[in-house]
Amino acid sequence: MRFYNNSHTHSCGIDLHAKTMYLCVLGPEDDVLLHENIRSEPEAFLQAVEPYRHDLVVAAECTFTWYWLADLCAKEGIEFVLGHALYMKAIHGAKAKNDKLDAFKIAKLLRAGMLPEAYAYPRKMRATRDLLRRRLHLVRKRGELLAHIQNTHHQANLSVPSAKVAYAANRVGVAERFTERDTRKSVELDFALIAHYDTLIKDLELHLVSQAKQHDPDVFHRLRSVPGIGKILALTILYEIHDIVRFPRVQDFVSYARLVRCEHSSAGKKLGTGGSKIGNAHLKWAFSEAAVLFLRNNPRGQKLVRRLAGKHGKGKALSILAARLGRAVYFMWLREKSFDVERFFAEAR
C-alpha cells in the first residue's frame, strides 16, 4: 500500500459521480474552505477551485468516471491523486455515509498523508488498454456460444463432434445433425454469431498489435521472447503494466500481479492468507496462461514443474512457475534484455 504524502497548501477531496461531484477543499489549518456539490463538468470544476489553484492537490476515488478529471488536471497543471477504492473503504468506513462526508474524508486522508494511491494510467496508452480489455469481453461471449452448442448436443443425447467447432472448417454439417428444426436453427444462429465474432476479434488483434509497435515495440518484442508468451499475452502484459519503473521492487510487481499469497499473522501466529483480490486480475490471468504454455514442448520446464509438484502439488507448482515468469519479465523489462533460458533454469534450481 502506497500513500500520497506530498505537502500542499490546499487539499481537495472529490466524491465523483457521472453527473455530479461533491468537492471539499481544506486549507493550511485543516479549515474547510469549500464544501459544495457541483455538476461533473470541466468548467464548473475549474471555476470552483480557481481561488486555490496556486498550490492545490486533487484526489478522487478510483471509480469508472475518473478519466476526464485526471486528464483535465494534467492539462491545467493541477496535481491529481487517484485513491485506491478497496484500501480507502477499509480506512474511512463509518456508520454514516453520504457524498458530503466522503468528500471530506478523502480531503482529510489526503491532507494527513494517509490516502492510499492507485495508479492513474496516463492518457497516451489508456484507450488501447481498454480496447484490449474489450477484446477479452468478445472472446468470452464467443466462448459462451461454443458452450451453448456443446450443451445442445448433450440435450439431444448426441455425441459432441470430435473436431473442435471453434475452427470454421469443422462446422460444416454440425447443425444438420439435429432433427428438430428449431434446435437446428438455434445452432445455426450460434455459428453465425461465432463467425461474426471471429471477424471482429481478428481485426481487433491486428489493430492492437499495430498500436503496440507504435507505443513500445522494444518491450513488446522482448516479451514475446519468453516461451509461452504470444502476441495476446504480450499485449496484455505490456498494456496492464505500462511502465515497469512504477514498481520499485520485484516484490511489489509480483504482488500487484497476484502471483504471491499474502500471509496474515498476529503475535507470531499465522492466521491464514488474504488479499487475493487485490491487484491486477488481467496480469494474474496472463502469467497463469504463460505458465501452462511455457511447458509445451519444453522438457526442462516439465521436469521443473514435476519437481515442484512433488513438493507442493501440481496446482501450486504452476503458481510458482507463473511467479517466476513474472519475476523474469520484471527484470527483463528493467534491464532491457530478452529472455535468458539458461539463467531462468539456473535460478530455478
Spatial separation of the C-alpha atoms in residues 286 and 293, rounded to whole Å: 11
SS (H, E, C) the chain: CCEECCCCCEEEEEEECCCEEEEEEECCCCCEEEEEEEECCHHHHHHHHHHHHHHEEEEEECCCCHHHHHHHHHHHCCEEEEECHHHHHHHCCCCCCCHHHHHHHHHHHHHHCCEEECCCCCHHHHHHHHHHHHHHHHHHHHHHHHHHHHHHHHHCCCCCCCCCCCCHHHCCCCHHHCCCHHHHHHHHHHHHHHHHHHHHHHHHHHHHHHHHHHHCHHHHHHHCCCCCCCHHHHHHHHHHHCCHHHCCCHHHHHHHCCCCCEEEEECCEEEEEECCCCCCHHHHHHHHHHHHHHCCCCHHHHHHHHHHHHHHCHHHHHHHHHHHHHHHHHHHHHHCCCCCHHHHHHHCC
Q: Mean pLDDT of all residues in the chain?
A: 93
Q: Which residues pair with 34 in a beta bridge?
A: 25
Q: Is the dihedral of CA 263, 268, 270, 274 positive or negative?
A: negative
Q: Residue ranges per domain, the chain?
A: 3-116, 125-215, 223-347
Per-residue pLDDT at 37: 97
Identify the band that residue 270 occupies on the pLDDT scale cut at 50, 70 and 90: confident
Higher pLDDT: 91 or 251? It is: 251
Spatial separation of the C-alpha atoms in residues 189 and 228, rounded to whole Å: 34
Contacts of 27 (CB under 8 A, 6+ apart): 9, 10, 33
> What separation in angstroms does the CA of 160 have from each of 146, 150, 179, 192?
11, 6, 15, 19
Nearest to 59 by CA among 49, 141, 229: 49
In the numeric block, the cell 468470452 is attached to 140
In the numeric block, the cell 470541466 is attached to 42
Q: What is the pLDDT of residues 335-349, one digit of tens each?
A: 999 999 999 998 877
Whether 290 contacts 232, CB under 8 Å: no
Per-residue pLDDT at 90: 63
Q: What is the pLDDT of residues 40-71, one digit of tens each?
A: 999 999 999 999 999 999 999 998 899 999 99
Spatial separation of the C-alpha atoms in residues 263 and 275, rounded to whole Å: 9
CB atoms within 10 A of CB 168: 11
Identify the band that residue 261 occupies on the pLDDT scale cut at 50, 70 and 90: confident
Mean pLDDT, residues 199-221 taken together: 97
Identify the band that residue 94 occupies on the pLDDT scale cut at 50, 70 and 90: low
Per-residue pLDDT at 36: 95
**Which CATH class, in words, describes the domain spanning 3-116?**
alpha beta
Q: Letter for the amino acid at 216?
A: D
> What separation in angstroms does the CA of 223 have from each of 259, 281, 323?
18, 19, 15
Mean pLDDT, residues 274-299 taken together: 91
Per-residue pLDDT at 91: 62
User: 151-165, 200-214, 266-280: which has the minimum mean pLDDT?
Assistant: 266-280
Which of 87-91, 272-276, 314-318 ranks highest by mean pLDDT?
Answer: 314-318
Mean pLDDT, residues 100-121 taken together: 93
Q: What is the pLDDT of residues 321-333, one digit of tens each?
A: 999 999 999 999 9
The answer to whether residue 264 scores a pLDDT higher than 80 is no
The answer to whether residue 113 scores a pLDDT higher than 70 is yes
Whether 48 contacts 34, CB under 8 Å: yes
